[in-house]
């Protein structure tokens, strides 16, 4: 399972879901799915999100081993 901090980072940055979607080149529905952890982004999208918030990828995404 992969957890993320996209919602928290978006709120701290004062972006709306629509603004974040435009910056990432995705739809608002994709941002909603990312925030609710229903969608695991590609590695490329993960880096894009992290760079947008000026974070390392590990500061945005966390892999939880389910073993």
Phi, psi torsion values for 2, nearest 5 degrees: -115, 125
pLDDT at 6 over 70: yes
pLDDT per position as a tens digit, 39-63:
999 999 999 999 999 999 999 999 9
Closest CA to 60 of 23, 1, 51: 51
Q: What is the pLDDT of residue 8?
A: 98
What pTM was estimated for this model as a whole? 0.90
H or E segment and range at residue 3: strand 2-4
Instruction: Find tokens 């529905």 and name the residue.
Output: 29
* Rg, the chain, Cα only: 11
Banded pLDDT at 67 (limits 50, 70, 90): low
Alpha-carbon distances, residue 10 vs 13, 23, 45 (angstroms): 5, 12, 15
């Amino acid at each position: 399972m992969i957890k993320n901090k996209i919602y928290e980072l978006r709120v701290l940055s004062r972006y709306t879901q629509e603004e974040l979607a435009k910056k990432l080149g995705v739809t608002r529905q994709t941002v909603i799915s990312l925030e609710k952890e229903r969608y695991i982004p590609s590695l490329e999208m993960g880096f894009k999100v992290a760079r947008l918030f000026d974070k390392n990828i590990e500061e945005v995404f966390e892999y939880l081993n389910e073993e």
